[in-house]
Structure 1
């Protein structure tokens, strides 16, 4: 495969003093621009003014189910039947681990800029949500939270052996949202992933939305906003105040 090129992410700076960051990854075939509407939604009540939003763009890679044509993707998909077996069949471990490394670098960039890890939330939709679970729970820093919409656990067979020791995110709250009419990532796969993670002791909750396909609704986005408000409560800093870490 040709060298992987990551474009600079789309960034929405905090509108008050920057005390927290949300990194949110899009799904297959999309770009960070596809989730601009969500950032606008999450900010409309002005409860997340201290939060900087980072929307990365996936590199263009050959996607097997797309006849090998290049499109934005965080990892290759060999088969897309929506069921538990097809998405996990012949998983692109190399691509998943490459993206994991990239996401961990994005997290580190925020830490280097002065934002503590426990003021960073990692999230995403579909492929991006799957990456957020995997990269978040395998991070070597304690995050504030993880959001995964219409997603599932990557490399589930090897997952337990891939988490760092000690684990930093065993108790990190993870919110999974899933539509009960999702024919791309079946609801059952999301529920199986949640059950597996809970069985391993992770703090994971899932909410299933009636008549929702492979997309997001205002209700789900409001639930994510509530999760972000709880995970990243405002520090009460004024824009001209220096943030003390």
Structure 2
């Protein structure tokens, strides 16, 4: 995989009021940022996230081993998807994961450079996008407002500690994880195991499980994400954005 991947500019939803916070939301394998545009509109429909800019990045087209090596939008290669809890942890694409991690760390830094404090930035995503969001968020060298992982899992879990900065900036950062109980793509047991690992390591994670949901999202879940964003990115009104600690 080339380190100079062709990347399309992200899809942007500007804040509808004064911009004081940013959410980076990352799509899953084979999708684009447009696939989550309707979810962003859903989160904003009650006008409670007016100060938030949403960034929906598009993954580069890369060869995916489990897709017979054919190219499709992906944040890293996946060797095998067979519905088992361990298949996604087989032969993980560490180089691809770290390339995407660097891309998201740079995206976070651009928001900080533009005047948004790190603790007014949330990164999250669905499936592969949720996995890279958890990994990138917890390994960031700035304190974020929150991390979201929907139908996802912890990347490079067997050596995760090797990638953490010293000191850790996001040990206390709220992490919202959610999963359908009938997920046959990112096995529900893997999502639960990832949550348990994070809790055992002392992270501030919560886990929501949705009955009869496969590898998808539901309105109840989207409403929980909206509530998480409202709690961790409260509107500041005319107050200045709080300084980063």
TM-score of the pair, normalised by structure 1: 0.96
Asked if 2 retains the 8 angstrom alpha-carbon contact of 1:176 and 1:206, the reply is: yes
Q: Report runs of 4+ in structure 1 exceeding 3 Å deviation.
A: 241-245
The answer as to 2:196 corresponding to 1:191 is no
**CA deviation map 1:124-172 (0-9, x unaligned):** 0000000010000000000000010000000001101210010000000
Counterpart of 1:53 in 2: which secondary structure? strand
Q: Deviations over 1:187-219 (max 9, x none)?
A: 110110000011000001100000001000111
**1:32-67, Cα deviation, whole Å (9 max, x unpaired):** 000001100000010000000000000000000111
Matched, 1:108 2:130: no
Contact 1:17 / 1:243 at 8 angstroms: preserved in 2?
A: no
1:79 counterpart residue number = 80
Partner of 1:88: 89
Which residues in structure 2 correspond to 1:204-215 (within 5 Å)?
A: 204-215=205-216
Kindly state the Cα deviation for residue 84 of structure 1 after the two structures are TM-superposed. Answer: 2.1
Matched residue pairs, number?
242
Give the gaps of 5 or more residues in structure 1. Answer: none
1:30 matched residue in structure 2: 31
- Structure 2 distance, partners of 1:82, 1:231, is 33
Residues in 2 aligned to 1:118 and 1:82: alpha-carbon distance in whole angstroms: 36
Q: Report the secondary structure of 1:158's partner residue.
A: helix
Alignment of 1:199-238 (within 5 A): 199-237=200-238
- State the Cα distance separating 1:85 from its structure 2 match: 1.3
* In structure 1, distance between residues paired with 2:66 and 2:168: 35
- For residues 123 and 244 of structure 1, the distance between their equivalents in structure 2, rounded to whole angstroms, comes to 22
Q: Is the 8 A contact 2:117 2:242 kept in 1?
A: no
Q: Could you tell me which residue of structure 2 aligns to residue 61 of structure 1?
A: 62
1:131 and 2:132 are equivalent in the alignment: yes
1:119/1:144 contact within 8 Å kept? yes
Q: Using the alignment, how far apart are the partners of 1:194 and 1:62 within structure 2?
A: 29
Query: CA–CA distance in 1 between the matches of 2:240 and 2:174?
Result: 29
- For 1:244 and 1:21, how far apart are their aligned partners in 2? 14
Find the counterpart in structure 2 of residue 21 from structure 1. 22
Helix, strand or coil: the match of 1:34? Answer: helix
Partner of 2:168: 167
| Alpha-carbon contact 1:74-1:99 (below 8 Å) kept | yes
Alpha-carbon distance in structure 2 between the residues aligned to 1:223 and 1:242? 27
Name the SS for the 2:106 alignment partner: helix
Distance 1:83 1:152 in 2: 13
> TM-score of the superposition, structure 2-length normalised?
0.96
Aligned to 2:178: 177
